Amino acid sequence: MEPRPVIFHIDVNSAFLSWSASYRKNVLGEETDLREVPSIVGGDQEARHGVVLAKSTPAKKYGIVTGEPIVSARRKCPGLIVIPPDFRLYVESSRALIDLLKSYFDKVIQYSIDEAWAEFTGYELLYGEPVAFAHRLKEQIKRELGFTVNVGVSVNRLLAKMAGELRKPDCVNTLFPEELPEKLWPLPVGELFLVGKAAAARLNALGIQTIGELAQADPEMIKAHLKKHGEVIRNYAWGREEEDEPEGKGEKEGNKVFGNSVTTPVNVTDIHYARQILLSLCETVGMRIRADGAKIGCVSVTLRDNDFVNRSRQLQLDSATDVTEEIYDTACRLLEALWDGRPLRLLGVSTSRVSYEEYRQYNLFDREKYDRLEKCNQAIDAIRARFGEDSVMRASFLKTEVSHTSGGLNKEKRAEALTVKNLRKKS
């Protein structure tokens, strides 16, 4: 009988603030450790990025939350220390973490700039009991890299990630299937992965208050009210990943994700402006996909309105693609289905179900068009790689305020991140 799999999820505690604090104290020699006082990392207020990107534990005690406006955080804590983000430092710190993980594990999958999964399965004879090794790994990261992490331990990526959220900071948590009734099910349903405020409110209206109640609810009733998303989150309540396959089918490749989002300088109220932002995001996402030699089979769009309510929807493609235009067309369809006209302050595009297969399932009409677009995209990538990102751009971006390749990191930061090929977000 084969041993069950063991997966680690490693998540940096308040990453941006922790990385900045460690650098300022250990390298610049500053006396104050920002992690020990009320402090935040805040975006550029003039460019409409004036929100809390990361917060210290003392700041959290004042009720400050990630994503809220800086002006609101200052009202809660008048003595709050606010520092600007330093993305070059964050990329370097992220690379150092991933390099350390790869020194132990053959399979490391980066989920975002500050978190990753590592597959421990098969390393028991080399490293010993998994939870004990997770504690040693956590302490080594703190000692050598100067920041703390949470390590979640379980049998799949979903449960490992949720385990890491149970207690913070600087903790090792387990969440194995047999521990769900005790550790996960009593929690409010809004704390389940991918259950946002809107979904939580709809579940609450159905009388479902806890994750356990969601797990025990009638699946047809959940599907009737929340469609496909309802099926997904009910599976999550049972610790089942959406990508889980029956035994013998092999492991899926679709664990990587390429995505980008951008906070807009002004409220977006015009559909044409929204589409242009999506196109700029899709340009960057498409470049990353092709740089990795990959194709994607699912596109999702996330919207955040000016009341900070997030909504997202995804659509699976008929055939995997790496063509920017196909990703953009799908994103526009999702935008039209998702947007109710409320002013938007953030738009995001994410892609998943990644594969590295060469074939494509053509229909009767798209082969010539697809081949032409694929070659065009590859030629543009080659030109940009040689002469710079701004050497080629679509005419629709001329004389506009929208960057033709926007979202996530700016050009300098993105160029460095692309050398790592690991700044990817999972939907």
Strand order in the sheet with 39-42: 52-55, 39-42, 81-83
Q: Which of 355, 374, 347 is nearest to 286 (CA)?
A: 374
d(CA 407, CA 392): 18
Query: Other C-beta atoms within 10 Å of 30: how many?
Result: 12
Q: How far is CA 251 from CA 247, 248, 266, in A?
A: 9, 9, 43
Q: Which residues contact 224 (CB under 8 A, 6 or more apart)?
A: 230
What burial letters (b/e) apply to 288-308, b meaning 16+ CB within 10 Å?
A: bbbebebbbbbbbbbbbbeee
DSSP 10: E
Under a CB-based contact definition with an 8 Å cutoff, are residues 116 and 76 in contact? no
Contact (CB, 8 A) for 36 and 45: no
| Best CA proximity match to 338, nearest among 285, 397, 401, 275 | 275
Q: What single string gives the DSSP state of each residue in 149-161?
A: EEEEEESSHHHHH
Instruction: Considering the candidates 46, 115, 129, 247, report the single residue annotated as catalytic.
Output: 115
Count of CB atoms situated within 10 Å of the CB of 211:
28
The Cβ of residue 131 has, within 10 Å, a number of other Cβ atoms equal to 15
Q: Residue 210: what residue type?
A: T
Burial class (CB in 10 A: 0-12, 13-18, 19+), 224: exposed
> Strands 149-154 and 172-174: what pairing?
parallel
**Is 115 in the active site?**
yes
Q: Which of 241, 206, 240, 209 is nearest to 226 (CA)?
A: 206
List the catalytic residues.
Answer: 115
